[in-house]
Structures are given as structure tokens and as C-alpha cells.
Structure 1
Amino acid sequence: MTQPTDSADGGGQVIDLMERLPPARRDAMAKAARTETRMTAAGIADASTGTVRLAAETDGRDLPVIEQVHERRGLRDLLPATLLSPRAWRHRAELVAYAAGYHTRRSPVYAWRIAQLSATGLRYGVSNAAGYLLVTEYGDMIREAKRSVKAKDGVFDNTDIASLRAERRDVGRARRRENLTVLSATGVTSYVAILVAIAELWGMALLAPALLPLVSVLAVLGVRERARRGEPLVLFDQAAAAENAPLTDTRLNEALRTAGILREDQTIQLTAPALAADGGVELRFKAKGVTVSKLRAKSEDIAAALDVPEDWIDIQALSSPGHISFWMTDLDPFAGHRPSPLFELTGPIDAVQDGIPASFDKRGRPVMLKLFELMGLIGGASRAGKGLVLRNIICGAAFDPRVRIRVATGKKPAEHSVYAPVLETFIFKQPQRLSLLLDAYEKEIDERSRYLARNGRSVPDEEDLEQMGIELLIVDESADYLDTNTANKAQNLMAEELTGKLDSIARGGAGVGVFVLLAIQDPKKGMVNTRLLANLLERWCLRVADAASANAVLGSGSVGKGLRPQDIKREQAPLGVRKGAEGEMLTKAYMIDQNKKGEAARLIARAVEVRARYGALPGQRPDPIEDALMALTGLTSVRGGIDGLGDPAPAGAAAGPSAGGDRPGILSQMLAVFRAADDPERLRTAELLAGLAQLDPDTWSAAALSVDEDDDAAYVRTGGAEMRRAIDAELEGTGRTLPSRGWTAGGRANGYYLADVRAAAGITPE
């Protein structure tokens, strides 16, 4: 909106028309102007750039300069999207490449069909040429004349027959003298002579190309003869309809008819060009009476019609249930492993709203696990990949500084020791300590609810979550804590107590930022209380032994609805079925290889750096949960206690890297070796050194000690002396000692007793 002047040359006083409008109208026009324009930093009115200054003032100051947006449509805007999509062109290129290979493989079939067609054309052509030159049509007339001749007074009148024969001779003579006949005979004779000459001079190899004109002419005659007879003619097969062809609407139409979804006269209508997407082909279409639910119910039949496993197709709704995205691949979408996107992270993530990239779907896209309202159960048989799923979740949550991660496990603490640097609490076994932890959680939930009520909110917003923090409790091997079907009555009572407390937290925790995730190795019906399961809405079932175990994780009747984790093969781990608010899907956890590559340790080290920048490492900020445990027991489970394996320790003795990333002391390392060996009563020095070399090869390997790897005796002597010096240095000033002792039972040996190591570390006997 420009400002007019009171003179033609624009030299007069500027009249501000906006000032003459009522205030309400003026504000409405100013708002409309803001809506239709965008901000710019031009600074002055400039006709060449299309910027103007609004004269209206809302707060006593000029409004910022705004720039009008003039849309200019170029050639690309006029072209249809199907010509501009690289994915559409990639699919077309795949179709062309497939068709070329398909027709090349079938060339012998096509050659035989062409030979048959040419033979038909040859018979047709020779027959017609002979009939034309020999005037064979007169033969029928002469035979008819003979049948019609009648005797008159005993004498037959053959005048008509003679006349027809004479006419036949005249017509035949005229036809054979026609220019077309002479030229045709000359051309055929010359062509045959050329063929003979080529064969004589250059051999049969060059004769085949020279025969192409003859074959083509005969094939055309054959096509005409087939058409005259009304016989079907199929010369080249349709590559797009082949069983292993790239997906097209033609092939999908046929499959949907075979599956009983489409009628014979019904076809799908594509709403976009076929796209090469996510390692497969995507078709977006609509069809009368066809919905996503109908297709999913018949997914097995559709996959059979397409001759692919059911896992190789994916059906999703677009703008409506009737607008469908159908995706198919010709390779196993879950073959092999994919590295975790967490390796690309350099800063924090929002694990609550954006989620953790814990797995990928059939199309290879990340499936985000959002902590918002997450109350979940993960189940799977041994070696099914449950630990890898938890590794993705814990490593991902570690990159959100607001999340306090706490882990309790009934078995295999070494699997979680790598996460110790970011664990606010880590408990191995010790159901009594877990019970105290849950008591602290219930109190924390009550305090958070009161905090929200005082601020007039029923659910926390982002600012509340920043203030209160986010709690994530993971109970691994939960059957060891919650199974009430054991012979030990005290254990059963404790299991009932823990189940009740977890149920209370699951019911009230999500609304205040407290989330619980249970993991169970051998799910069976009744192992986890059904009341607790009812509040664990997120389910993730990996490979299990049977349908009963699958239903125990996913819910009763889930297997009958098409979810079949019991059919997952061992080599497909960590593939599983995930069922939650977004429905059910087949998904596979990303690979984070800790055993061979130490990838989890690297991720945790980077998460430690991120958390350190925000002051969010264990022990760097107030923790009411651990403070309550410390007040009740005098021991702390921060970072897994003294050995980083879940045993509580006196305050200040927790193991694991600090904010500066220091290496655990020798006593913590020795306890870790004992724990890895299932806590034997004692270990020889050689056994301890072997374990230490695995934990910290930079310090305890033969190369680090400058000893020949093949000289075991020298390695034990040198390593034992170095271990003794490290022990004395760590215990200096503490008043505690750790003697090495010998024994003869089971063979003469020297080493250390577990009880002595625990006492030297300041751990009180259980």
C-alpha cells in the first residue's frame, strides 16, 4: 500500500491515508498486510525491491519494513510432478532395465513364436500367390457348372463350361503378364540370388541378418492370417506382469484380484507416479470400497499373489483410510544390521517428544520410541535381542540431559555396567533395595503432583519437565523380581510387594514424568501380574518360543490377529513386533555392537560429554531418589556402586567415570572380574590378570606390561607385582589392607579372596 501525494510530480506533502481510517479498520488492514507480506531487512522503501513502509503506528514507532512476495512461476512450476520426481524416474529406469533383461531371457521363446508366425505367413502367401496366378477361383465355378449341366434329348450342353475354361486361360495369361507379377518374380529371384551369394561368400553367420526382411514380411502375413481366423496372438509377454517384476499398478491390480479384494472389472487409480522409495517401490492409490484395514486383513493373500514374503510388503494410510500407500521390496528389508543413528549425534536430543531412534521399520525408516507416557514391556527368548533393544533405549535416553536413568536387573549385571557412568541408580538383584527405590518413587510422584497442582496444571509442560526432571526406571530380567510362582514364600511375598508398587507407579507416574520399562526373558502367562500388565501399554515382543509366550507380552489374542513373534527366526534377531498407541508393526533394533567394537561405551562416553555440559551427570545435581536410599541404608547405588555392577557402596565410593572420565580403580576392576566369573570364593593371580586384561588392555595386557605374550610365568610375575603396587597405592591412607593368600585345595595356587577384596573396598558383608 503506497502513499499518494498532492501533486503530480510527487513533490507535495505526503498524505497518510491510514490516519483517516477508524482505529478498528486501521488495525485490521495492518494485520492483513502483515499476513500477506514477510519481514525483510531492507530498511528503506525501494520500488526496485518491492519493499514499502506501513504508515500506521501501533506503539508510537514505525513498523518494520516488509517485503511483498511476488510469485513467479517458472517452467518447472508448469511441468507435472511425474516429470520432475527423481524417485519416479528411478522407478522407470528400473522397469526399463528389468524389461530388457526379461525379454533377453525369453528371446528363444519369442524366436520360436516368430518362426511359427512366419510359417503361417509363408503358407498364406504362397497359397494366395498360387491362387492368383493359377486363377483357382475359376475351379469352383467350373465345378458348379458341371453339376448344373442337364442332358437334352440325350445330349449334354458343355458350352458354359468351355466358356469358363477359356476365360480362365485368358485371365491367367493376363495376370502372369502384369507388371506387378513380373516385378515380384524379379525381386524374389534377385533376393534369393543375393542370399545365395552372401552364404557362399561370407557364410551362414551373415545370412541371418539378411533374412530379416523376409521374416518380417512373412510375420506380417502371418498376423493378417491370424486376424482373419480370429485366433489370439501373443508375440511378446508383458514384463510388468511377471512374478518378479518391479511393482506396477498392473501387477498390483492382478494381485488384488487374486486375493479377492478387487472385482475383475475393477482397478486401482494411482494418485501419484510409482516411486522408488526406501529400497522398494511405493504405489499411492485409491479404489472404490478398498481401505487400509481390508488390505491389512488380506496382507498374507496379497503377498502370496505377489510371490513375496508377507514381511516384504507394507500398507499404510495417507490422507484417509481409502488413500493408501502400498510399498513392496524384492529383498529382505530386515536382512543384516543397520548402525544406530545415535552415532551421528553431537548434542542433546528430546527423548520425550521427539523420541529415541531405537529401531527401524520395513521401509528402513527410524521408529521413534517416545518417552512421553511410556509404560512398557519388552519380552523375548534368550539371544532374541532384548539386550540390544535396551542398549538402544538407554544409550538414546543418555543423550537427553533431563532424563535420570535407573536400572535394576535380576541377572547379568555386566550387560549394564557399560551404562554405569550415566546411571543415577544401578541395582543388581537386592529386591529389598528395589522396594525402597519404588517407595522413593511413590513419594516423588506425590511431590510432583502437588507441585503441578500448586501451579494450576494437571500435566507437566516443557518448563515443568525441565524443573522436575524426567525419570526412567528400567527393570531388566523382571521375572526374578516379580514371579510369584516360586517355592520360596518370602520371595513370593516380596514379588507381590514389588508388583503392587510398580503397578502404582505405572498408573500415576506417566502424568508427572515418571516412566517404567520392564524387560523379561522368558515370558509366560501369569509371570507378570495381569493388573500391572494392563498399565504397560507399550509392548515389544522379540522372538519367543510359542504363541502363549507371544500373547503374554503383546496381550491375549494378539497372535490370532496376525502378530506372530514365535515365527521369527534366530538369525533375524533383534527383529520383533512392537505394539503401542500407533498400532502394531514389525521392527528391528539398530545395531550397537559392544562385545566386539565397544560401540556402546563410545556412545556413553559422548553422552557423558553432553551431560557434563549441562551439569547432568550422576552426582552433579540434587537427586531425591538416591538421597532417600542413602538416608535409609547409608549406601549409594549411583553409577552402580563401587564396582559399577550394581552393588551399593558407601557414599563417595561409587565406581564409573566421573565428569572428567577417570578410570575405575584396581579394586573396582578386581570386583568386576569376580562378578564376570559368577563371584567365586577366590581367583588365582593369573585368572585375575586375564580378566583385568579384558577390562583394561591398555594397562594389563602383556604388551602394556612389556612382557612376551608366550611367557605366561613372566606375565604372572610382572602383572602380579604391578597389581600389588596398584592395590597398595589405592588403599594408602584408608587403614584397609588386601593380602594375597595361597591355598592347596584344588591345586596349589596364590591369589585373592572375594571377601577380602570386598572388605578392602569398604563393602560391608551381606
Structure 2
Amino acid sequence: MNHEEDNEPIRRSEADPAPTGPVPADPGGDVVDLDKARAARGESPDSPTAAPNPTGRESGDQSADPKPTESADSEVDESGDERPVMVDGPALSGPGLMEGVRGAERLPILAPWLKSLPEFITAMGWLLGYIWHTFAFHAIRTPFVYAPKLAARAPRGVLNALVSTGRWAADTEGEPLRQAAASHERAEEYLKLSRQRDRRVRLRGALTILGTIVTLILALYLAFGASLRVQVVAAAVAVVGFGILGAPADKPLSSRAVIKTQVQKLTSDIVIKAMASIGIGQIASAVAKGQDGIKFVSPVTREGPGWRADIDLPLGVTVADVVDRRSRLASGLRRPLGCVWPDADPNEHEGRLILWVGDRDLSKTGNVVWPLEKHGQHDMFRPIPFGQDPRGRGKAVPMIQHNVLVGSLPGQGKTSAIRVLACGAALDPTVELWIHENKGTGDLDSLECVSHRFVSGIDDDSIKYAADSLKLLRAEVMRRAGVIKKLPKDLCPDKRITRDIANKRSLKLWPLVGIFDECQNLFAHPKYGKQAGEDAEFVIKLGRALGVILILATQRPDKESLPTGISGNVSIRFCLKVAGQTENDMILGTSAYKNGIRATIFRPEVDAGNGYLAGAGPTPSVVRVAYLDDPAATRIGQRARKLREALGSLSGHALGESPEQASGPSYDLLADVLAVVPGSEERVWNERVAARLGELRPEVYAGWKGENVTSALKPHGVSTQGVAGTTDDGNRTTRRGIVRADVAKAIAERDGNPGAA
């Protein structure tokens, strides 16, 4: 109870003038005018009619802060007097009945695994596997374990059958009742029970004799008149029947084919105690006072292979605060760390916690099977199956209009993640693959047979090959931009690659996927790294809508080996175990660690293959990536090659062409600009530069406009400006253009010779 608020009218009345009229004296205390005390609550402290306040505080408030529920402003009425206007209305307002119903969450009619074909196939596969395992387990034990047990127990079963039949015929089950009636001298009840027994014994005795005669006749027939097959079947039935009757109650015939893991049910009491133990003051203090400290939005329910609890945290507590204490929460729940996964609800406020507690540690659930490992092909315009979350739900990665960044410490499953994405791209025969494995261990050699460009190595030549690929990708992005611009609106209304456009082989706008594993060796290279970083940033920014996709993987995510222009513009990120906050935010994005998305929680080696996937869904989620070993990837590569052979889309390295033949035309944009802009021409319009470049290298610059020159020179630090000039018809005007000296300066700085400019 708040005694300060209860005494508020009394304190207000002490400051009010004395009431008019006679008031009876009370030696025990002051007399309070209740009407004035109530009216004082509605008065503004600044009103002329307000009572004096010698303490300097608001009337009726013993704290320095005003009561938020009594906020008021003033306005002048018709008489010129100032009257208070309440800011907060006296009644709560909110959505009506229909608005509340419309905004209510509708639970799915069908379970998620019934609406997803991959999840349905996985579930049915598990069910069939379970049935087959159980059948095979018992079938192999029937002749060698179960049959000898039944034969050994059959004699005891015969004895049990005879004893049970005799007890039934003699009505022994009623004997305790008759004895009880006799011992308590209830004669009438005893006589009724005795007469009932006599009737039962006569009937049951006759049936027993008749059954014995029939049994003897049947036994004699089976022994002397039946065929051998019938005798064997009858003997088997007798052994099974009497063996079951002779089985001890504490020794079952068969053992279990599958032993269920005994896991304690998750209850609200367990969750409350665990949440109170993780060190959040608001929760701990509330529980200490006998309260819950948290609010359960819905009952704790079973979801997948675990339990789910939807919780509203106290005011001011966020999901990130709980994620930061995940290990303490696991200790409070008495579960392994890999079973406890606190997560945010993307459809609710920041204090809504979804606590999912699995039956088994995620790292001990075994390898995730990739749905496309053994059969099928893929459409690149659909997400690539990638793995599973802790709840067993499939997770996929969209590729079109995205770029992907994968990072982790060595040995945590980074290459496996790259291999899954590469195999998914390879199984679309329209995709052109450029693979660069700059570790030199041959992890992606299985897809060499379908790659347009391919290199595996860490030497300077391999690094140069990868850098050349980025330069070529940059030129390809420019070419595609020109082609897209010329396409009619009915074919390409959104100015981006679609499935229909990609299928038109004459346009050469099929998806192009460039994979750069261990890209830190490329971007940190003293000779090729800077230009490679600029080219990669250009491709990432502009190639997204043009079907050019980069997949980058690194084990050293810092600004030297992974330029911020690249890490800041990648849309999909997968981060496995990393060492600290800096590396975490380099992969998952700025403030990811602060927001509770922390790949530092994964245990080295134990959680290999587990990581945070961001950008592929509404919120980042933990995913266990599917596992493909090298033999499986090799089989996928051969299947992908057959698909390409049938479509006729094999090219470049896959056909044995040399890098020069496969790479197409190469160019140096800055040098070409200087070549078409003579030294006597200090400033020139961009549209004239584009026209001259088209004449110089039509295979590269055909279709370029002035805006293409602007966007192409911007990454090199060459900006455009207003340039005055004369048109072909002799009129003077100002248009966007460049200064030749700026281009020369950019070349000098790039080549490490700034004095040459």
C-alpha cells in the first residue's frame, strides 16, 4: 500500500485556507474539508487559486518528481480565467472490439512442417526410418533371442494356465468375501455368497470338463491326424502362448528398439526460478517478494524437439540482456548450454522473449542432411536449402539480389557453409560459377568440373587470378547495366534480372556467382588487395539487381583483410564461432553484439557448424549448417555437369579453355579515359568520354552513357562536376564532366607514384 498517496488529501488540506462556517474543535488533530481536499487534486500548482506551497514541491507529493498521472496544462476560458486542462484523459482509450479482433494473431491451421515440402519429407523420412529400425531390431532377435526365451517359459506357462483354470472353476476369487462375512457373523450375506458360489462352481465345472475333453481331442488330432505343417504351426502357437503366460512380470520378453531420452518437462516454476538466478535485478527483486518477476504470454507448450515459453520481461529489460546471460540461464534450467536458446519475437516489442529449450544439445543432434544431396536440381531464383535451426525447422538462403559473407575462426565449419551454397548454385544449370579457393587445400575442387573460372592456391599467381576475376566481374556489371537499360519495359519492368530474362541465353544475363574462399588473402595482398577491394565493393553495390552475386568467406574479419565498404554492404551474413565483439560485428553488422546477436557464445569445435544467420529472415537466427563431405560434393558436381551438358551451358574452365580464352576482354578504365581525352583537353563532358570509350573498346564499353562514366569513376575517387562546353550545333552550355588531371592523379595514387601526377 502507498501511504504517501493515502495521506495526500490531508497534506493538501493543511495548505488550504480554513473553511467558512463553524467547525467543531477536535483536540486530536486538524479537521479536513474533504470536498476541498478532493478538489485540490484537480488544481494546477500554477493556478492562482492553488494553495500556497511552503515546501516548494507540488501539493500532496512528498517526492521531488511530479506524479506522471496528474500532468496538466492550462488554458484561458471565456471569462479570462486560467483553468487546468488534463493531459491524460480520465478513461483509457484503445482499439475497439473489431480492431482488436483484426489485430489478433491467428494460429496456423496446419503445422509448419505440413506446409513445407522439405520439412514434410524430413518428417516422413524420420517416421519410416523409425518403423524400419523397430521392425529390423525385433526381426533379427526373434529366432535367436525371443524364440529360446518363449520355449524356456512355456512349461511354466502351462502350469500357470492349469492353476488359473482350477481357481476360476472353484470360484476362489470370491473366497475373501465369504470369509469376511463369516468372521463378522453376517449370516444372511454369507448364505447369499455361498449360494452364488454353488451356482458358479456347477456352471464353471461343467465348462471346464467340456473344455478339457475338447482340448484332449484336439491334441490327439494334432498328434496323430494332422499334417506336419499344421503340427509345426500349432506347436509354435502353443509355445508362444504358454511362453507369454509363463513370463515373469519383471522380465519382459523383448527389449526396446529405441530408448527415449528422459528430459524434465519445462514448467513455469522452473522458468521463473531460472530467470531469477541470471542476475537481472528487476526479476530477482520481484521473485524475492513472492512475485513472478516475468509474465507468461501463453502457456508453456511443446514445439518440435523441445519446449517453448513466450515471456514478457520487466519494463526496461530486453532480450539482449537475457542472451548475455545464456550460460547462467542454462545453469538455472539445469540443461546443457546447447539446449537453451533465448530469442526475440520479431512481431512484438523488445521485451518479448521466446525461450526455447531443446531435449538435446544442438551439437549432439548429428549432421544435418542436405535435401538436394542425392537427387534433384535447384532454381537459383529460390532460396538454397542451408541447414536447420535448433527447433528442427529448415533454413534457406535467398541468393538473387543478395551477397553473402561467411566468417569464423579456423575449423568451425566455414568451408562447409560455402560448399553448401556452391553446390546449390551448381545445381542450377543456368548459373555461371566463378570459384576462387585461396587457401590451396582443394576444398572446392569437386565443383571445378562446372566452373567457368576456377583457381585453388595461395601463391601470387592464384591471388592475381582472383583479382582479375573481380576486375572482370566489374566489367560484367557495367555490361549488364547497359543491356538491362535497353530492354523493353514489358520484358523488364523493374530493371532487374528475372527467371524469364535469365533463360534467354542470347541476352547473357544468367545468374553469375563469384565465390572467394579465404578472401582475406586476396584483400590483404600488398599488390592486388586494394584494387580487388574496390572492385568487390563496386560489384556488391551495383551487381545485386543484375544477377551478379558474390559469396565471400574469411577467417580473419578485420578492416585490413575485409574492407569496410564490403562488410557494410553485404546483405546476408553467416557467422560461426568468432573470438570477440569486433569480429562479431564485422561479420554480423554494427551493434549486433550489443543487440544480443553474439557468435561468441558458440563453443570451439563442440559447436562447429553452428552459427548466426542474418539477413535471410526477419531476425537473425541460430542455424546448424547442412554437412556435405567431399565425396558427396563430388557426386553433386558430376550431377551438375550433366545438367549443364544437357542445357549446353558449360563454358570456360569447365571446357578446358585457358584463362585468357575464358576471361574475355580486360581493360584499365583510368588508362582508357586518359587515352581518349588528350592532354590539350583539360575538361570534357562525360557523354563524350562514353562515346569515345565505345569507339576504343566496343566489346567493353558499347552502350555506355554519361551516367555509366560517372558511376564507374566514382570508386576511383574521380568525381564529376559541371563543365562548360560547346555543343555540335555551336551552343554554349554546362553539363556533367570530368577533369583530366583528376584521372591522372588517381592513376598515380593507384600505382604508388603520387609524384607522377
TM bucket, shorter chain: 0.3 to 0.5
TM-score, length basis structure 2: 0.45
TM-score, length basis structure 1: 0.45
